[in-house]
Amino acid sequence: MKPLLPHNLQENLSNDHISISSFDMVASLSTALDLIDPKLINHHKRVCYIATSLASFIGIAHEDLQKVYLASILHDIGAIAFEDRMKSIEFEYGGGAHHGILGARLLSEFSPFANLAPLVMFHHTNWGYGEGKYSLGQSVPDLSHLIHLADRISILVDDQTPILSQITLIENDILEQSGKMFAPEFVKAFQKIARKTTFWLDLASPNIEWILGRKFSFLKNQLGWDDLNDWSRFFAVIIDTRSRFTATHSSGVAAAAQKLARIFNFTDLDCKKMKIAGHLHDIGKLTIPNSILEKESALNKDEWRIVQAHSYYTHSILDKIKGFEQIAQWASNHHETLDGAGYPFGYSADELTIGSRIMMVADIFTALAEDRPYRKGLNEQKIHGFFFECIQKKKLDSLVVEALFDNYKIMNDIRIGAQVEETERLQKFWKTATSQN
């Protein structure tokens, strides 16, 4: 029997097919990658702006221009380790093969973007007076060398100095490496577009995301919900594998939330949305340093404040995607409570719809039931005791909690199945990725 909901908790559930702009999606997720460190804010968007400007100036085909846009805005997607990201700031960084391989492996998991994998794999390959046409026993795409140049130009930009005062210095550094680090034909194209003051002012603009959307709007294409589910699942790999404490957490939350949504008679489309929200609910954790994520002792006050901010960043990342508004709401509300004491928004009970309440329960249930390196998952009795206490304190919705425990074996089997499947997938991914390194 389906639980009956009070009128004020009803969702406006979808019945139609909706598609999402792939460029809204990647621009938002590139923001998530940039948030790993303040020094890298807008780095992906700047690389995309430079690379796409170069490619457009050269006059490459529309299909290749689209590949350059997507590959450049996601070029560091394989730099999962915080330390690797910081090394990439150095201009003559030569250690990019590892995260290039990981990035290519990740993209190959998502069929709509699988054709970007070779471009990302070799984006740190030096030209080497032509020897860079081949690497790791493979032909290196010319467009990888274009992205490599764009990446290094972006790294040379100093946000503490007016951009127009830096032009000569940046040009000289790039020209010095023509033929050595960079393909000469792309350096020549850079010299020509660098004559335009607007190129530099756009590059340094805080509105770079808007500029990209305006200048290259003709490239936009759409992703359907099934594609988006695969996309969110593969991005959950990046979120979860940054810490051994939560290696498959997002997959468990996604499965549990989707099952609860079905129990509450959500439409098929909204069940898909709920699963996507579960995969992405912790995307804001990319802002948390590994030293905090991996800390086994209790967090101090400052560390706890950093952790608390992650659900705010989940909202700010996902809310930029047109059509993702409901997903952003469900995902970012997973630490809210009905008594208004949750975070980051401190919503009251009247402000939390059934979708948000489901996500709150799914997240807690998965966290308590799953194994962690420092403890085994709790049994049903202990989990029930925890939830009962939360209901007594008016923190969680009793209807959602009752639905969880009325279907506990099914819920737990679904949660376990999803996490076992994800464990096997991750093991296969890392084995393949490391064997290519």
Q: Which CATH number fits the domain that encloses residue 167?
A: 1.10.3210.10
What residues have CB less than 8 Å from 105, skipping those under 6 apart? 78, 117, 429, 432, 433, 436
pLDDT value of position 1: 44
166 and 273 in a single domain? The answer is: no
Q: Residue 8: inside a domain, yes or no? A: no
Q: Residue 413: inside a domain, yes or no? A: yes
pLDDT value of position 89: 44
- pLDDT of the chain along its 437 residues, tens only? 445 454 345 555 554 556 677 777 777 777 777 776 666 778 889 999 999 999 999 999 999 999 999 999 988 887 754 444 434 444 444 445 677 888 888 888 778 889 999 999 999 999 999 999 999 889 999 999 999 999 999 999 999 999 999 999 999 999 999 999 999 999 999 999 999 999 999 999 999 988 988 888 776 677 778 888 888 887 777 777 677 677 799 999 999 999 999 999 999 999 999 999 999 999 998 888 878 887 878 899 999 999 999 999 999 989 888 889 999 999 999 999 999 999 999 999 999 999 999 999 999 999 999 988 778 999 999 999 999 999 999 999 999 999 999 999 999 999 999 999 988 888 877 776 666 55
Q: Residue 378: inside a domain, yes or no? A: yes
Is residue 174 within 8 Å of 182, Cβ to Cβ?
yes
pLDDT value of position 320: 83
Alpha-carbon gap, residue 126 to 326, rounded angstroms: 44
pLDDT value of position 67: 93
What residues have CB less than 8 Å from 434, skipping those under 6 apart? none
CA gyration radius for the chain?
A: 23
pLDDT value of position 359: 98
Is residue 155 within 8 Å of 85, Cβ to Cβ?
no
Predicted structure pTM score: 0.85
26 and 151 in a single domain? The answer is: yes
Is residue 183 within 8 Å of 75, Cβ to Cβ?
no
Q: Residue 229: inside a domain, yes or no? A: yes
- Indicate the residue among 198, 220, 242 that finishes a domain: 220
Domain that holds residue 267: 225-435
Backbone angles phi, psi at 43, to 5 degrees: -60, -50
180 and 258 in a single domain? The answer is: no
203 and 230 in a single domain? The answer is: no
Amino acid at 351: E
332 and 207 in a single domain? The answer is: no
Q: Residue 284: inside a domain, yes or no? A: yes
pLDDT value of position 180: 96
Alpha-carbon gap, residue 23 to 25, rounded angstroms: 5
Extract the tokens encoding 337: 């409570």
pLDDT value of position 428: 78
Alpha-carbon gap, residue 134 to 120, rounded angstroms: 14
Amino acid at 157: V
210 and 335 in a single domain? The answer is: no
pLDDT value of position 11: 59
Extract the tokens encoding 369: 């039931």
pLDDT value of position 106: 82
